[in-house]
Amino acid sequence: MRGSIREKRPGIWEIMVELPPDPVSGKRRRKWATVSGSKRKAQFELQKMLVGAKDAKARASSASVEHVINEWFGLARQNLTAQTAQSYETRIRTQILPELGAIPVDELSPLHIETLCRSLLDRGLAPAGVRFTYAILRRALNQAVKWGWLETNPAMRATPPRLPQRELASITVDQLATLIRDAEALNPQWASMIILSAVSGLRRGELLGLKWSDLGTDSVTVRRSMGYTPKVGVYEGTTKTRQTRRVALDPIGMAVVARQMEEIRSASEQVGIELCSDPFLFSAEPDGSKAFHPDSISKVFRRVADTHGWRELHFHSLRHFSATEMIAAGVDIRTVAARLGHSDPSITLRVYAHALPERDRAAAELLGSRLRLPSAEDSAES
């Protein structure tokens, strides 16, 4: 590491230190400072600067935030579904880059990031959406640290907006029965989707992605998920965790599956065509070759629920029903997480914590039943 001292005028010294080349562009970099006083003082400051230049921070890149994010996203999108990648791209283009894109990444501060979050909230974005945008930026900056472009990630020292604590709306058994009845009147397939979602806990896309080859004698195997983006249309992707899982079904669930298969067979026979080689369980075509648009079942559910004024319920509420009923019945969290396709049981605990008080009451009654306190008769006998 090299440096130099030059006396600009009496008692005023200019110090220059050569920094390592920029890791992105390879361009030469220097650091300058001006010191007042004696030459000895200037030499002392030069030594301090030389030591500091060896710090990892001195090797930070002068590349812009936009350059860092584009480099990261070019690699990260390969491991994202089309729908998630489009969501990332939109948030990067419309929210992050207009505010932070031109800032050199080594000058980005936690204040910059918190200011961005406040700006997005002022624009009317929900706290959950702002935290999602913050998470994208944090991931990109984490990669910059790994590449040696940053010493530390400023997003880790920033505070994103808090999420308001809210209890997820769950469907009661009576509400579920009403929804199934009304959906059945519209189309038996819609009713079958609602029932199977409630008894399996499958996500909407996973439910619509089921094919006949995924059906067993007492279970279904979840291998794929149907998604939609305006650019791609309806597409077949992986599950959220990119893992295949087997979900056991009770006789009611398997009866629904059998009925739905018969519905597809009957539809193909009525129009005089053969089934495709591996039909979708729920199909918009009589030969089973095409899955429903993911939004279609959500719209039907919304239409039926609104008839009864249940604005708080959504199709995803069926998944909550499945989870909360299992937890309330005493099913262990690891099993619940496996059925729901959560990568970590802690996610299940966090999302469905509202269902645990019932288990706490059951535990208290169980422990109490094991004890026998001395009665008045016992005391009299002793």
Q: What is the pLDDT of residues 84-124, one digit of tens each?
A: 899 999 999 999 999 999 998 988 999 999 999 999 999 99
Q: Residue 350 above 70 pLDDT?
A: yes
Whole-number pLDDT of residue 56: 45
Give DSSP secondary structure letters for 260-296. HHHHHHHHHHHHT-PPPSS-BSSBSSTTS-SBPPHHH
CA–CA gap between residue 224 and residue 240 (Å, rounded): 9
Q: Which of 150, 335, 338 is nearest to 244 (CA)?
A: 338
Q: Residue 358 above 60 pLDDT?
A: no
Whole-number pLDDT of residue 58: 45
Rg of the chain, C-alpha, whole Å: 30
Mean pLDDT of 354-361: 58
> In this structure, which topology does domain 65-157 adopt according to CATH?
DNA polymerase; domain 1 (1.10.150)
DSSP secondary structure letter of residue 104: B
Domain boundary assignment for the chain: 3-59, 65-157, 177-309
8 A C-beta contact, residue 141 and residue 96: no
Q: Pick the more confident residue, 111 or 79.
A: 111
Instruction: Mark 258-268 as b/e (b = at least 16 C-beta within 10 Å).
Output: eebbebbeebb
CA–CA gap between residue 376 and residue 154 (Å, rounded): 67
Q: Residue 29 above 90 pLDDT?
A: no
Residue type, position 270, single letter: Q
Q: Residue 81 above 90 pLDDT?
A: no
Please check whether the two domains, 65-157 and 177-309, share a CATH topology.
no
Q: How confident is the model at residue 351 (pLDDT cuts 50, 70, 90)?
A: confident
The torsion of the CA quartet 340, 342, 344, 349, rounded to 10 degrees, works out to -60
Tell me the pLDDT tens digit for each residue of 286-340: 999 999 999 999 999 999 999 999 999 999 999 998 988 888 888 888 999 999 9
8 A C-beta contact, residue 58 and residue 70: no
Tokens 């009304």 locate to 182
Tell me the pLDDT tens digit for each residue of 35-69: 899 988 888 888 888 776 655 444 455 688 999 99
CATH superfamily of 177-309: Intergrase catalytic core (1.10.443.10)
How many residues in total does the chain contain?
382
CA–CA gap between residue 5 and residue 286 (Å, rounded): 83
Q: Pick the more confident residue, 79 or 154.
A: 154
CA–CA gap between residue 319 and residue 313 (Å, rounded): 11
8 A C-beta contact, residue 243 and residue 222: no
Could you give the residue ranges of the DSSP H alpha helices within the chain?
Answer: 39-53, 65-76, 82-91, 97-100, 110-122, 127-146, 173-186, 188-200, 204-208, 251-271, 294-307, 317-328, 333-340, 345-351, 356-369, 376-381
DSSP secondary structure letter of residue 63: -
8 A C-beta contact, residue 36 and residue 73: no
Q: Pick the more confident residue, 22 or 64.
A: 64
8 A C-beta contact, residue 207 and residue 196: yes
Tell me the pLDDT tens digit for each residue of 128-178: 999 999 999 999 999 999 888 888 999 999 999 988 766 667 788 999 999
DSSP secondary structure letter of residue 343: S
The tokens of 294 are what?
Answer: 């993911």
Mean pLDDT of 189-193: 94
Tell me the pLDDT tens digit for each residue of 200-235: 999 999 999 999 999 999 999 999 999 988 888 899
Alpha carbon separation from 3 to 8, 14, 42 (Å, rounded): 16, 11, 12
